[in-house]
Amino acid sequence: MFAARRAAPRAWFLSVAAVLACSDNASRPDAAIDAAVLDAAVLDAAPDAAIVDAAPDAPPVDAAADAPPVDAAPDASPIDAAADAPPVDAPPPDAMVCREVVCGVTQLAPTGAEDTRGLTGDATHVYWSNDRAGVSRIAIGGGPVEVIAADQVPTGSFSPGSDVVLDATHVYWSYRDTGTVWRRLKSGGAVEPLITGQDGVNRLALTATEVLWTNDLLDNVMRMPKAGGGPVAVATGQSGAYELRVDATHVYWADGLGGAVRRAPLAGGAVETVASGGSPSLLELDATDVYWLDEATEQVLRRPKAGGTTTPVITGPDRVYGFTIDGTNLYWTTDAGLSRRPKTLATAAVMLASCFPDPFYPPYLLRVNGATLYWATRYLNAPDGVQQVAAQATCM
């Protein structure tokens, strides 16, 4: 449920209006206009055809042969000229231009025809994983795409839970269907299998010494030393464990089917419920608070790690598809676009980007890396991609 939502966000058609509004050259009914011209040509041709009746001395049948047939329209475009009109599901021709000129959004890299499942970055590169296209990276600012690992999913399988995370030396990624976690040195070298036999391995998190993951088929939250050893359960019976985050003392996860945000001490100990109710999915941490998306209410909520009141910080009317935080701001994506607001909520939201080229798939997997925001896109009529915009940009 939750992995599917992140990978192929649910669409609604109000966003089509937003895309069309951005373009002065919105699609026009060219086929209908050509049809009208055709009808006019037919009417103009009719008087010439009437000459057949006005020539009684001429052979009634053969004389008509020199006249244009009633249904001929020599000057009109053929019916199939309507093929030049934009397809119904194509984005308006100026949609991408509108987005880039107004908002400063650029495509950092195309990611192929498959869904992007994991997205992260460090000081030098942005990394992503795909259903069937393996793991790749590109230098911040652009350049050639480097393949870290080719597709490792068996033919005919599907891996919606593939994630990618980083530490100082390695890039780590998961494949849900094969129940595996892999890694490779950032500097290059062989791909190394780290974890096997974990059907449903999904999202990943790292500490200095351990890899942690959620497992939505075995209903567990797991951990294992990076240096090797057997997997150890942090928590069992987590019926919808999905997003995963760690801080200096605890591992946190969203249990969507169980309707709770939970945590456990990294040093070992009992599982604690941070907040209950709703359907938590996406999750973020800062020094003092836990943030999560409740898919039941389409709100992003916040609660102090030390306990206290749960507060809505991002509310409707639009469906939230991704959110993230940095030291001072909240960022989120909806059908309407990408927005920013201070965590203090002292000022209103600022729109950073809108008028995305495919109205049916809003941006998702939003990440902030220093001064830049990154996110994944999925298009009906173009390759998927990784987009970027300055985190402090102001547009629209």
Averaged over 221-232, what is the pLDDT?
93
Higher-confidence position of 342 and 87? 342
Q: If you search the block for the tokens 């008087």, which residue do you land on?
A: 47
Residue type, 130: N
47's enclosing H/E stretch is helix 30-50
Scored b (16 or more CB within 10 A) or e, 11-24 reads beeebbebbbebbe
Confidence of residue 219 (pLDDT cuts 50, 70, 90): confident
pLDDT of the residue at 327: 94
User: Residue 266: pLDDT above 80?
Assistant: yes
Please provide the average confidence, as pLDDT, over all residues in the chain: 75
What are the C-alpha distances in Å from 210 to residues 236, 266, 321, 348?
Answer: 18, 10, 29, 40
pLDDT of the residue at 394: 65
Averaged over 244-259, what is the pLDDT?
94
Q: Which of 87-91, 324-328, 385-389 has the lowest mean pLDDT?
A: 87-91
What are the C-alpha distances in Å from 190 to residues 22, 131, 136, 184, 315?
Answer: 47, 21, 15, 6, 45
CB neighbour list of residue 348: distance below 8 Å, 6 or more residues apart: 341
User: Residue 76: pLDDT above 50?
Assistant: no
Nearest to 340 by CA among 392, 384, 285: 392
User: Residue 194: pLDDT above 70?
Assistant: yes
User: Residue 19: pLDDT above 50?
Assistant: no
pLDDT of the residue at 350: 87
pLDDT of the residue at 293: 96
Question: What is the phi/psi pair of residue 372, to 5°?
Answer: -130, 140
pLDDT digits (tens, 9 = 90+) for 280-339: 999 999 999 999 999 999 999 999 999 999 999 999 788 898 999 999 999 998 887 888
User: Residue 348: pLDDT above 80?
Assistant: yes
Q: How many helices (H) and strands (E) does the chain have?
A: 4, 28
The winner for highest mean pLDDT among 24-33, 44-53, 133-142, 321-330 is 321-330
pLDDT of the residue at 328: 95
pLDDT of the residue at 335: 80
User: Residue 170: pLDDT above 50?
Assistant: yes
pLDDT of the residue at 302: 98
pLDDT of the residue at 46: 41
pLDDT of the residue at 168: 96
